[in-house]
Amino acid sequence: MIRHLPNLLSGLRLLAAPFTAWLILEGHDSAALAVFAGAGLSDGLDGYIARRWHVTSRFGAGLDPAADRLLMLLCFAALVVVGATPIWLVALVVARDAGVGAGWLLIKILGLPVTIRPLFMGKASTMVQILYILTVLLMLAFEVDAPRLAQTAALACGFFAILSAAAYAGVFLRRIFAGRPFAS
């Protein structure tokens, strides 16, 4: 049973993504906060279980980040629709994700021998995005009107997205021109 638990948790997180977005759109802010926080905890738990009991799989290695990205993107989209986050930030996050995806695809198409590993800056950007969404959901759930906090959080999130995009672009370009595998 433990062997399937990490993938089960990732699958539940995948299902939580549209549910969380729906909760945001329907104004159930406290419930959206609870589901988003639970999904975040499940992300840490599935990784811990997979590493602790050595039950990693190729399927899980793809499912986990897909569930994370879907959760983030649907939450960002819902927060834009309800007017709780600026559209420029969502456009920046989506463009960064699309750029990273296009870079990986290009490297595969070119047939370069690569080992695909997330960069530290990519992980940092994702963490800041999670904290941003949590901050916005907390503000909505507790009806806190703090425009400076919201603006500062959005700017920080955007800054990390730009840093992450630049880090990936630099690595991609170096590897494409050098034709060497990625190193973390």
User: 118 falls in which pLDDT band (50, 70, 90)?
Assistant: confident
**pLDDT at residue 115, rounded to an integer:** 66
What is the C-alpha to C-alpha distance for residues 77 and 72, in angstroms, rounded to an integer? 9
Per-residue model confidence as pLDDT tens digits over 33-53: 999 999 999 988 988 998 889
8 A C-beta contact, residue 25 and residue 126: no
Residue closest to 60 by CA, chosen among 7, 3, 16: 7
Structural domain boundaries in the chain:
1-66, 84-184
Q: How many CB atoms sit inside 10 A of residue 99's CB? A: 15
8 A C-beta contact, residue 130 and residue 76: no
Q: Residue with structure tokens 């399937």? A: 4
User: 172 falls in which pLDDT band (50, 70, 90)?
Assistant: confident
Per-residue model confidence as pLDDT tens digits over 131-164: 999 999 999 999 999 999 999 999 999 999 999 9
pTM, 2 dp: 0.90
What is the C-alpha to C-alpha distance for residues 58 and 61, in angstroms, rounded to an integer? 5
